[in-house]
A and B are shown apart, each in its own frame.
Chain A
Amino acid sequence: MKGGIGRNLYLAFCVAVFIFLIAPILVVVPLSFNAEPYFTFTEGMLRLDPDAWSLRWYRSVAEDIEWRRALVNSIVIGVCATALATVLGTLAALGLANPAMYGRSLVMTLLISPMVTPVIVSAAGMFFFYSSLGLAQTHVGLILAHAALGTPFVVITVTATLAGFDRNLMRVAASLGAGPWRSFWRVQFPLIAPGVISGALFAFATSFDEVVTVLFMGGLEQRTIPRQMWAGIREQISPAILAVATLLIAFALFFMLTVEWLRRRSARAAEA
């Protein structure tokens, strides 16, 4: 016999923690297939009666003009903000990786600060600043705001990949006659790509999940999915939110698997 009472208690505790963490998320999934407009399991659902289950909330989301606009907004803002954050974050990380750069840690801290500043603070600050520039309640404004929030993730992941990058490779490329542009695209970028991509995914997820900045900065035209869910909960209690939530969970799962796959790939590359 291995373990004993102590070990069993320990395992039970671990399982309880997992249930506590996961259950509120997982319970949303079956509820989203509810045939009735309730947020609870109906008797029919518990009996596994096929009639008690339906895709009606998914259909209503797909047909609803507001949800569709929210999806388009989320994707447009997310993609643009991610592109911006990825380019800026990668460039910043490349510069910060140069040991000759002056004041590296200060610049690094400044770049990372949006991650640690409470979002409500930066959102409020951005709102007043962007308002005076006429950027509040515009797509451009929201894209810039989300890019600022996403850049730190790119800086961190690219910096981490650069730590394992052999700087001699760039010297060799130069000695072989390649200019900086060619050296970057042919040698450096393929090797740091896993870091760039996972940073981009984090930046996209940040924008895709973000609600506080959108509440401040976005008008009706800039409603994203989280903002629409917020409205859905407050204004029209409809299980359509659960359908959207399930889709978001599926997206998050896919996203995490991709990041993990990239991490393993770059770990393997670093070993070689």
Chain B
Amino acid sequence: MNPEPAHVEFDGVSKSYDGVTEIVRDLNLAVREGEFLTLLGPSGSGKTTCLMMLAGFETPTSGTVLIGGRAVDDVPPRRRGIGVVFQNYALFPHMTVGRNLSFPLEVRNLRQADIRERVQRALRLVRLEGFEDRRPDALSGGQQQRVAIARALVFEPSLVLMDEPLGALDRRLREEMQYEIRRIHRTLGVTIVYVTHDQQEAMAMSDRVAVFNGGRIQQVAPPETLYEEPERVFVATFIGDNNLLHGRVLGVEQDICTVDTGNDVVSAFLVAPRKVGDAVTLTIRPERVALAPTPGTFSNEFEAPIEDIAFLGDHLRVRLAVCGSADFAIKIPNTVGHGAVLKGDHVRIGWTPTDCRALTPDEEIA
């Protein structure tokens, strides 16, 4: 185990508003010092509730939240010293940018000269020098979010929480701000816990991502691991595209199992501890399926008719009916010209067992 204590720790945390439905269920998660950790999940998966419990705006129904190794159950939000950035910016509309930034410093009774200096430094950090006398309503959305970020950092917290901070921005601005936030994170070395439902944003920014669904963490891992080695079907489909095949285990040989999908037998990499006869869900990324391979290249090779072809610019998306799936997608890079295959063609496809992961069906995981 990691000997250095976690900066933030959720220890068996559950949250229910009505005593019946649990928004967050038995959550265990540790955030390392200086880490950029993203809570990723669909809306209603409990990720924002986790953030609010960490900030102190919500109280866990059971379990404990620890910051720096200390339980913070009895610490009100204003004593936690955590910077928080909301999706709607939540700038004080009746104060100038400068007053917004000096607010947390005045609360801490800093000297005026000190306050001015720190406000200037924070504005430089978010590249908004000279904006201190503007009112928030005179700023663009991206500028307002920069001010909100500067305000969450100006009192030098070691932990900053961001709740979908880029959700209200258009795509171009969002990518620019992703880069800015990463730059600030690298510059300051603060711990950032970030909430988003956008898997691309999570992949682009995070050291690690915790994937939420139904109030539970499905998997916590660096972005590459989540993509390449998903441990749950939900993760496999939520992060990037994936094909799902359903079947039963016919045989197991070390890491590789053979699976009966109804009319075809597929060999796959056995991730879950499944035995012969158990149900499994197989996942294969569309870009890992080869079209028309030299016969005998793969242990998984099938012939199937092309149901549909969609031209998506940099690649073609070909839909086939194979191995019991009517909606099996493969991606062909747009390098060979897209006249190569046509709808209705019978084509041969193949993939290696290691790209095909056999997982426990989600229904069997309570």
Residues of A within 8 A of B (CB): 166, 168-169, 171-179, 182, 186-187, 190-191, 269, 272
Partner of B80, one of A173, A175, A179, A182: A175
Q: Is B300 an interface residue (CB 8 A)?
A: no
Stretch at the interface among B29-37, B100-108, B119-127: B100-108
Distance of A166 Cα from B107 Cα, bound (Å): 21
Chain B residue nearest to A177 (CB atoms) is B107
Q: Contact mask B294-305 → A, CB, 8 Å, 1/0?
A: 000000000000
Kindly provide the distance from the CB of A183 to the nearest chain B CB, expressed in whole angstroms: 8
A179: chain B residues at CB < 8 Å are 78
Pick the residue among A177, A178, A272 that contacts B137 (CB under 8 A). Answer: A272
Q: How far is A260 from B76 in the complex, measured between Cα atoms in Å? A: 40
CB-defined contacts of B107 to chain A, threshold 8 Å: 176-178, 182
Distance A182 CA – B137 CA, assembled complex (angstroms): 23
The answer to whether A269 and B108 touch across the interface, beta carbons within 8 angstroms, is: no
* Cβ contact of A269, chosen from B78, B79, B93, cutoff 8 A: B93
Q: Is the CB of A174 within 8 A of B77?
A: yes
Encode B326-339 as 1/0 by CB contact (under 8 A) with A.
Answer: 00000000000000
How far, in whole Å, are A175 and B85 apart by their CA atoms in the complex? 10
Q: Is the CB of A168 within 8 A of B78?
A: no
Choose among A172, A179, A186 the residue with the greatest number of B CB atoms under 10 Å from its CB: A172
- What range describes how many residues of B lie at the interface? 20 to 34
Which single member of B56, B92, B135 contacts A169 (CB below 8 Å)?
Answer: B92
Of the listed residues A166, A171, A175, A178, the one surrounded by the most CB atoms of chain B closer than 10 A to its CB is A175
Nearest-neighbor residue (CB-CB) of A270 within chain B = B93
> Which residues of chain B have a CB within 8 Å of any CB of chain A?
55-57, 76-84, 86, 88, 90, 92-94, 103-104, 107-108, 135-137, 151-152, 155
Report yes or no: A178 in contact with B57, Cβ–Cβ below 8 A. Answer: no
Q: List 23 A-B contacts (CB under 8 A).
A: A166-B90, A168-B86, A171-B55, A171-B57, A171-B77, A171-B84, A171-B90, A172-B86, A174-B56, A174-B77, A175-B82, A175-B152, A176-B78, A176-B103, A176-B104, A177-B107, A178-B103, A178-B104, A179-B78, A182-B107, A191-B94, A269-B93, A269-B94
A-B contact count (CB 8 A): 63
Q: Is the interface of A mostly helix, strand, loop or mixed?
A: helix
Given A171-B90, A172-B90, A272-B137, 8 extra CB contacts under 8 A: A168-B88, A171-B84, A173-B92, A176-B78, A177-B104, A191-B93, A272-B135, A272-B136
Q: Is the CB of B81 within 8 A of A177?
A: yes
Nearest-Cβ distance from residue A167 to partner chain B, whole angstroms: 9
Question: CB distance B76 to A174 under 8 Å?
Answer: yes
Q: How far, in angstroms, from A190 to B94 measured CA to CA in the complex? A: 8
Given A171-B55, A269-B93, A272-B93, A176:B88 Cβ within 8 A: no
Contacts of B81 in A (CB 8 A): 177
For A168, the chain B residues whose CB sits under 8 A away are 86, 88, 90
B contact residues around A186 at 8 Å (CB): 103
Closest to A178 in B: B107
Smallest CB separation, A193 vs chain B (Å): 9
How many angstroms from the CA of A272 to the CA of B82 in the assembled complex? 28
